[in-house]
Amino acid sequence: MFESVPVSVPAPGKTTLDSMLPTSILPTVIPVAPGLSGAPDLPIVPIIPTPHATAAVRNLLYIAQAPNEALVTYLKSLGWKVSAGSLATQASVLKTDTPVAGIVDMTSFSARELTALEPALRHQRAGWIALTDDTHLADPVVCHLIRHFCFDFVKGPFSHATIGYLVDHAYGMVSLGDIDLADTPTVFGDEQMVGTCEAMQQLFRTIRKVANTDANVFITGESGTGKELTAVAIHERSPRRKGPFVAINCGAIGNHLIQSELFGYERGAFTGANQRKIGRVEEADGGTLFLDEIGDLPLDSQVHLLRFLQERKIDRLGGHDPIAVNVRIISATHIDLEAAMAAGRFRTDLFHRLCVLRVDEPPLRARGKDIEILALHVLHKFRSDGRRKIVGFAPSAIEAMYSYAWTGNVREMINRVRRAIVMAENKLITADDLGLGHCTGIESTTLAAARDAAEKRAIELTLLRHRHRLAEAAAELGISRVTLYRLMVAHGLRGAAMVTGADA
């Protein structure tokens, strides 16, 4: 209630997660949505309009059996555009896409009527204040509605000034979330690609440049960093955008099947080949073929793929005449292909054919503030999955998101936030809801150890951001290259740098 003053300021957090897209269940054909493919550039647009654009009118919905006229007059004098009355007559206020402050007079409704108000109270753009009394507070339905859907409550006798203060606050809270989201740049209509940090901006620039050529592209990055999303982005901005985008996961198909899957077969080519099957390469004719997890392609298939890349013709199994196919190949892997080549598991000549242009996906832990932006983006996208109205992330969650390593990257972020949306007990997602309770808390430590850890982390992240280009990283850190090298050795980062560098 009011004595406790509303406190739940949604931290400016943002996140990511990905279990819902069947992108890795391959083989997959992703048809290109015609409406998305026209733009030659990657538009950086806000997910939703900023609240400032519509801030002139501040709507206030006051739901009561008999609205208090004096209160309405007072609220109007504060500049609110007040819509007072039953929900049935005033619901249109909630249909706009702008923030709305709400007052619900719970003393004037029965428990059943109140339950019927739940969808309105759940509305993501409305910030509610409940007017109630001790009798109603004894009712579990009322408590449930207040706890999960209202910013605060006031017990009678009601002070107009208190209500005026609280609605202002509730309105500010719902607008706050939008300001955070408005910072979030995106790439697609359906599939938004979030990224504001320098590494992501660099990636967007690379995507634009690469899309304009027809050369083969090789994408590296840890699992879940957005390699497939990038491949689709390149295709959709390329001159081939009207053609098909065909994705195949080379790691998900058994060795014996991969050739027929890639190149197809003629009827009668082998026992059970009852009819002709067109392979994935041929399916992609005129478009883009995305070979995911190319590092898992068996050596004999590598030979066939290489021959195709040289001759631009395929042979269906059991076929007689080679068939010309015109595809652009984008390949991706999360493994260290240089190491695979050194070990003889991947053909160097094939690699050079595939890797004409190279795109590196930065790991999530190196994206700084984008960690929060992505978290909020995912929350915005999926928050209607939850039973409760979730307005943001608690400080513990933000802290945990920054200290966690995110080895599963954006995909893991999406999974954790989606789970948290369902599991959260309150309006703010906590570190525990994210399953990251262990990443918070001030550990007792000496100042020297804290400095040491901070130094290591700063170096690690700077190296990641600069793709292990030591001169650039040293310049950003304000130290010499020699000093950086010495510190990397001291912190045990040299080995890691070399491994990641090769992979990147």
Residues contributing to the site for Mg ion (CB under 5 A): 228
Q: Identify which range of 18-26, 41-49, 299-307, 440-448 contacts ligand ADP by CB under 6 A.
A: 18-26
Structure tokens at 364: 């999530």
- The entry of ligand ADP, Mg ion, none that residue 410 binds, CB within 5 to 8 Å by partner kind: ligand ADP
Which of 249, 274, 247, 273 is closest to 260 using CA atoms?
273
C-beta closer to ligand ADP: residue 12 or 195? 195
If one asks whether residue 221 binds ligand ADP (CB under 6 A), the answer comes out as: yes
- The entry of Mg ion, ligand ADP, none that residue 194 binds, CB within 5 to 8 Å by partner kind: ligand ADP
C-beta closer to ligand ADP: residue 19 or 480? 19
User: Chain-centre distance of CA 326, in angstroms?
Assistant: 33
Least distance from ligand ADP to the Cβ atom of residue 465, Å: 15
Footprint of ligand ADP on 93-132 (CB under 6 A) = none
- The entry of Mg ion, ligand ADP, none that residue 408 binds, CB within 5 to 8 Å by partner kind: none
C-beta closer to Mg ion: residue 234 or 314? 234
Footprint of ligand ADP on 398-427 (CB under 6 A) = 410-411, 414
Q: What is the DSSP letter of 441?
A: S
If one asks whether residue 192 binds ligand ADP (CB under 6 A), the answer comes out as: yes
C-beta closer to ligand ADP: residue 224 or 287? 224
C-beta closer to Mg ion: residue 228 or 296? 228
- The entry of ligand ADP, Mg ion, none that residue 411 binds, CB within 5 to 8 Å by partner kind: ligand ADP
- The entry of Mg ion, ligand ADP, none that residue 432 binds, CB within 5 to 8 Å by partner kind: none
| 364 vs 339: CA distance, rounded Å | 23
C-beta closer to ligand ADP: residue 125 or 227? 227
If one asks whether residue 359 binds ligand ADP (CB under 6 A), the answer comes out as: no
Q: Identify which range of 15-23, 117-125, 235-243, 461-469 contacts ligand ADP by CB under 6 A.
A: 15-23
Question: What is the signed CA dihedral for 418, 430, 172, 98, rounded to 10 degrees?
Answer: 10
Which of 211, 156, 179, 126 is closest to 427 using CA atoms?
126
Q: Which residue is nearest to ligand ADP (CB)?
A: 226
| 51 vs 313: CA distance, rounded Å | 55
At which residue do the structure tokens 């996961």 appear?
Answer: 249
Least distance from ligand ADP to the Cβ atom of residue 28, Å: 11
Least distance from ligand ADP to the Cβ atom of residue 227, Å: 3
DSSP string, 247-279: EEETTSS-HHHHHHHHHEE-TTSSTT--S-EE-
If one asks whether residue 497 binds ligand ADP (CB under 6 A), the answer comes out as: no
DSSP string, 151-198: EEEEESSPPHHHHHHHHHHHHHHHHHHHHHHHT-----SSS-----SH
Query: Do β-strands 100-105 and 328-333 pair in parallel, antiparallel, or remain unpaired?
Result: unpaired
If one asks whether residue 223 binds ligand ADP (CB under 6 A), the answer comes out as: yes
Least distance from ligand ADP to the Cβ atom of residue 125, Å: 22
* 27 cis-preceded (ω within 30 degrees of 0): yes
If one asks whether residue 14 binds ligand ADP (CB under 6 A), the answer comes out as: no
Least distance from Mg ion to the Cβ atom of residue 330, Å: 12
* 157 cis-preceded (ω within 30 degrees of 0): yes
C-beta closer to ligand ADP: residue 60 or 414? 414
C-beta closer to ligand ADP: residue 23 or 440? 23
Q: Are 366 and 374 in contact (CB under 8 A)?
A: no
At which residue do the structure tokens 């080519």 appear?
Answer: 269
Least distance from ligand ADP to the Cβ atom of residue 214, Å: 22
If one asks whether residue 333 binds ligand ADP (CB under 6 A), the answer comes out as: no
Among 10, 13, 14, 23, binds ligand ADP (CB under 6 A): 23
Q: What is the DSSP letter of 104?
A: E
CA distances from 65 to 26, 113, 137 (A): 56, 11, 18
Least distance from ligand ADP to the Cβ atom of residue 364, Å: 8
C-beta closer to ligand ADP: residue 223 or 500? 223
Among 5, 21, 116, 422, binds ligand ADP (CB under 6 A): 21
Q: Which amino acid is present at 317?
A: L
Q: What is the DSSP letter of 317?
A: B
Burial 432-466 (b: 16+ CB within 10 A, else e): bbbbbeebbeeeeeeeeeeeeeeebeebbbbbbbb
C-beta closer to ligand ADP: residue 84 or 203? 203
CA angle 305, 309, 312 (to 5 degrees): 115
C-beta closer to ligand ADP: residue 99 or 224? 224
CA distances from 251 to 30, 72, 258, 351 (A): 18, 65, 9, 17
Identify the helix (H) or strand (E) that includes residue 333. strand 328-333
Footprint of ligand ADP on 225-244 (CB under 6 A) = 225-229
If one asks whether residue 193 binds ligand ADP (CB under 6 A), the answer comes out as: yes
Residues at the contact surface with ligand ADP, assessed by CB under 6 A: 16, 18, 21, 23, 191-195, 221, 223-229, 410-411, 414
